Amino acid sequence: MEIRQVVGSLVCTHRIAGLGHWDLRLLQDTKGKHYVATDPVDARPGDWVFVVSGSAARYAMGDAGILTDLTIGGIIDRWEEERAAAVEPTSATSATTARAA
């Protein structure tokens, strides 16, 4: 699963029946690249979410008949604070490297 930020909704009236009437959200990764995902959890713009891709995205909709390859699996409770604290494991690795050297 990947972590993405919701930047808006996508209105798409003319669509295949296989997509149902599910909400579509416009997502963005940290590099600014855009993605579209089906949204069963009602995420809002600004929310950080994790997304399921591939065939698992169809199961994530609760119905493998929904023809999506990207589904929002859940809204992340906290992200910015945790990202700031995320350096620990990698610094442990570099400490090992320093010891080895």
Partner 1 sequence: MKICQVERPLVSTNRIPGFEHKNLQVVRDGSTQQVAVDAVGCMPGDWVICVGSSAAREAAGSKEYPSDLTIVGIIDHWPPETGAAGSGGAG
CA torsion angle for 35, 39, 45, 51 (degrees, to 10)?
Answer: -50
Closest approach of Cβ 16 to partner 1, in Å?
21
Q: Which two tokens stand for residue 25?
A: 């959200």
Pick 28 or 53: Cβ nearer partner 1: 53
Pick 32 or 89: Cβ nearer partner 1: 89
Pick 8 or 74: Cβ nearer partner 1: 74
Among 17, 78, 80, 84, binds partner 1 (CB under 8 A): 78
Q: How far apart are CA 25 and CA 30, in angstroms?
A: 16
